[in-house]
């Protein structure tokens, strides 16, 4: 690691008026009154497991990419964000979250491809056409929802099951679908302007006083996958692998070292050069998707900086 590059594995603040604390895979979430304070740590997860080593600047990238896209989509759906008091922190409205993730896929890749390759042609109740190759575009984007697990793996679920089980009402679910398609369309257009393809992504929504809000993060490397647009078609025609801007290469490294999050598998620890490479990938992704230069925040005493900025905003 470069000297002075502190990475933040987690926080345990005691904030004035704090009523709850939740540690997600990547974020530490504090409830203070009717607000949520979300700290983007530098933890990195893959296969629903948090890896042992944090990645310098990853939390800052995550927070700032999410903020950028929340601002750019608030005309489509209101979102939870109220302010960004620190490069790693977002403060917003505490909503009652829907217990589903709205996963939308424009291309046959990742989990969908693994299912397809295994012979399945229906994913979450949605039919996938025959004769597709890995990384091909679907005729139209498909929504393949997942139940939101507190711990462990999120589970695939169909629209029909969500409504039948009363997880989300039919009226609300229709609204979530409309928002999901519109957000993906906007994200795809923004990515294309930057020479990227938004391959797939997921959205989370909540409700407060009858109003649906977009919550959490959007279009970040943790919730989305991007391909480089330049050369995409040629690579598909030649049957070559696509150039990705995502954390898929971290998953591939883990798989190459015998880890896929399955029972009894030992998680390998990333060596320094790989950690540095992951940082570089995240910064590159920030600059590519936003078109803005990344300004590294001062990471000396990073926890003290974050806490001071939160306290200032809560006054």
pLDDT digits (tens, 9 = 90+) for 225-241: 999 999 999 999 999 99
Which position has the token pair 């540690």? 23
Residue 297 has pLDDT above 60, yes or no: yes
Q: Distance between CA atoms of 163 and 153, rounded to whole angstroms?
A: 21
φ and ψ of 255, to 5 deg? -60, -40
Give residue 3's pLDDT band: very low, low, confident or very high (50, 70, 90).
very low
Which residue do the tokens 């959007």 mark?
A: 218
Please say whether the beta carbons of 11 and 59 come within 8 A: no
- Asked whether the beta carbons of 103 and 111 are under 8 A apart, the reply is no
pLDDT tens-digit series, residues 14-71: 999 999 999 998 999 999 999 999 999 999 999 889 999 999 999 999 999 999 999 9
pLDDT digits (tens, 9 = 90+) for 146-173: 997 666 567 999 999 999 999 999 999 9
Give the CA count within 13 Å in the CB-facing half-sphere of 116: 19
With contact defined as beta carbons under 8 Å apart, do 255 and 265 qualify?
no
Contact indicator for 241, 235 with CB cutoff of 8 Å: yes
Q: Please tell me the predicted confidence (pLDDT) of residue 2.
A: 44
β-strand pairing of 45-46 with 137-143: unpaired
Integer angstrom CA distances of residue 176 from 139, 189, 197: 21, 20, 23
pTM higher than 0.85: yes
Report d(CA 24, CA 257) in Å as an integer.
Answer: 25
Dihedral (C-alpha) 273, 111, 97, 68: value to the nearest 10 degrees? 50
pLDDT at 154: 77
Give the pLDDT of residue 153: 65
Share of the chain above pLDDT 70, in %: 97
How far from chain centre, in Å, is Cα 50?
14
Tokens of residue 12, six digits: 């345990």
Domains along the chain?
A: 97-245 (3.30.470.20)
Q: 1: pLDDT confidence band, cut at 50, 70 and 90?
A: very low
């Amino acid at each position: 690691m470069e000297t002075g590059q502190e990475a933040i594995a987690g926080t345990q603040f005691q904030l004035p008026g704090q009523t709850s604390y939740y540690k997600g895979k990547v974020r530490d979430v504090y409830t203070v009154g009717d607000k949520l304070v979300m700290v983007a740590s530098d933890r990195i997860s893959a296969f629903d497991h948090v890896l042992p080593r944090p990645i310098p600047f990853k939390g800052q990238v995550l927070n700032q990419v999410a903020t950028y896209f929340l601002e750019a989509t608030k005309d489509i759906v209101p979102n939870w964000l109220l302010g960004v008091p620190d490069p790693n922190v977002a403060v917003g409205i505490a909503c009652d979250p829907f217990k589903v993730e709205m996963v939308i896929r424009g291309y046959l890749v990742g989990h969908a491809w693994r299912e397809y390759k295994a012979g399945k042609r229906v994913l979450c109740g949605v039919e996938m056409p025959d004769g597709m190759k890995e990384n091909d575009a679907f005729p139209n984007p498909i929504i393949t929802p997942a139940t939101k697990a507190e711990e462990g793996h999120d589970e695939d679920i169909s629209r029909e099951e969500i409504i039948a089980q009363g997880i989300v009402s039919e009226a609300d679910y229709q609204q979530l679908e409309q928002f999901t398609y519109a957000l993906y369309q906007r994200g795809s257009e923004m990515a294309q302007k930057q020479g990227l393809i938004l391959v797939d992504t997921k959205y989370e929504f909540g409700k407060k006083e009858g109003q649906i809000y977009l919550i959490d993060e959007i279009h970040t490397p943790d919730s989305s996958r991007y391909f480089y647009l330049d050369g995409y078609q040629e690579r598909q025609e030649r049957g070559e692998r696509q150039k990705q801007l995502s954390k898929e290469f971290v998953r591939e490294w883990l798989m190459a070292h015998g880890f896929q999050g399955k029972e009894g598998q030992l998680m390998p620890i990333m060596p320094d050069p790989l950690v540095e490479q992951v940082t570089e990938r995240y910064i590159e992704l920030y600059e590519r998707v936003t078109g803005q230069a990344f300004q590294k925040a001062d990471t000396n005493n990073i926890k003290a900086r974050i806490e001071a900025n939160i306290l200032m905003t809560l006054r």
